[in-house]
Amino acid sequence: MLKKRYDASKIIIRPMAHSISNDIYKVVTGKKGVFRTKLSYLVSTSAGRKELRLMDWDGFRSIKVVSKGLTSSHNWSQDGRFLIYSAERNRKWKIYLLNLKRYREMVLFSSRGLNLVGGTSPAGLISLSSSKDGSPEIYVINIHGKGFKKLTWSFGIDVSPVFSPDGSRIAFVSDRGGSPQIYTMGSNGRGLKRLTFQGSYNTSPSWSPDDKWIAYTGRKNGKNQIFMVKSDGTDSRQLTSRGNNEGPSFSPDGLFLAFDSDRDGRRGIYIMRIHGEEKKRITPKHINAMSPKWSPYLK
């Protein structure tokens, strides 16, 4: 069935097994598998820092990639070659870009105030929020740190911007209506539309790869839960109910969601199918892990 050859003397067993699983999955389904994808995530340390780490999609082979300062929001470039993240060092919040092949870090954006990464587009744009002029607003910048452009002008707080799969729209969080809700707009800042109306606290949007759904964190009965709504604002669904569940992130095939939860006591990273089935913890119970971001397909 498969004509590829795998040399275990050159490739360690787990990545080789993932490659074989990917090939079998493609032969059987005709689609790409997620077996060689990774998750970036944050871990709280005893020193009060938050480290940025990487692991395989199933929780194995965790490695530390950024340990300096307090790392916050983060995301992947569309080609999987870079991690973009926000970190506070020496009382300054900057946005950094890390080359995952060379592990070389560079400052992408720096200004006064709080600067937080959102998402990335196929064209190499990065969405971010910055409070450099007062209240947090939405901006975009390219992956070379050029082309800085402001997209929102609001008396409220605008944060957590993420691009649609084709880069034509942005979903974000705003309290301009009185409480944090999910909105969408064109990538040029026009065509504003409110997406969520149920609940008084909705945050952390994540766009599905097929453009049809937006997963988000919503508060219900005093706890945070994962919801999903169609990208036109219809058909909202609750996917979790036990404990606090936050920060959903779609797998590149759109069949799974990663999220963090305290359902077992200490916060950890979980994955589940997009309709809420088969929830599974993939990080050890002795660490506080949060804010997963699923990689694109990796070579």
- Looking at the fold, whether 239 and 261 belong to one and the same domain comes out as yes
Range of the domain at 252: 41-294
- Predicted pLDDT of residue 200: 94
Residues 23 and 53 in one domain: no
Asked if 229 and 156 sit in the same domain, the reply is: yes
One domain, residues 18 and 120: no
Asked if the structure places residue 290 within a domain, the reply is: yes
* Mean pLDDT of the region 68-94: 96
Asked if the structure places residue 62 within a domain, the reply is yes
Rounded to whole angstroms, the Cα distance separating 116 from 237 reads: 28
**Reported pTM:** 0.91
Q: CA-CA distance, 171 to 162, in Å (whole number)?
A: 5
Regarding whether 9 and 86 lie in a shared domain, the answer is no
Question: Residues 7, 151: one domain?
Answer: no
Q: Is 36 inside a domain boundary?
A: no
**Per-residue pLDDT at 31:** 73
147 in a structural domain: yes
pLDDT classification of 4: cutoffs 50, 70, 90: low
Kindly tell me if the per-residue pLDDT of 182 is higher than 70.
yes
Answer yes or no: do 59 and 200 share one domain: yes
Q: Is residue 128 part of a domain?
A: yes
Query: What pLDDT is recorded for position 65?
Result: 96
pLDDT of residue 27: 64
Do 246 and 133 have their domain in common? Answer: yes
Tell me the percentage of the chain whose pLDDT exceeds 70: 90
Flag whether 244 is in a domain: yes
State the average pLDDT over residues 273-298. Answer: 97
14 shares a domain with 110: no
Asked whether residue 219 falls in the same domain as residue 133, the answer is yes
pLDDT at residue 10, rounded to an integer: 47
Query: What is the reported pLDDT for 6?
Result: 46
Report the pLDDT value the prediction gives residue 237, as an integer from 0 to 100. Answer: 97
For 150-164, the pLDDT digits (tens) are 999 998 999 999 999
What is the rounded average pLDDT of the residues 108-121? 97
Report which of residues 200 and 29 the model is more confident about. Answer: 200
* Domain-located, residue 299: no
Mean pLDDT of 263-271: 96
Residue 229 maps to a domain: yes
Statement to judge: residues 16 and 49 lie in one domain:
no
Q: Residue 226 above 80 pLDDT? A: yes
- pLDDT score for 272: 98
Is residue 179 domain-shared with residue 286, that is, in the same domain? yes
Q: What is the pLDDT of residue 299?
A: 83
pLDDT at 3 over 60: no
Instruction: Note the pLDDT of residue 175.
Output: 98
Split at pLDDT 50, 70, 90, the class of 24 is: low
Structural domains counted in the chain:
2
Mean pLDDT of the chain: 93
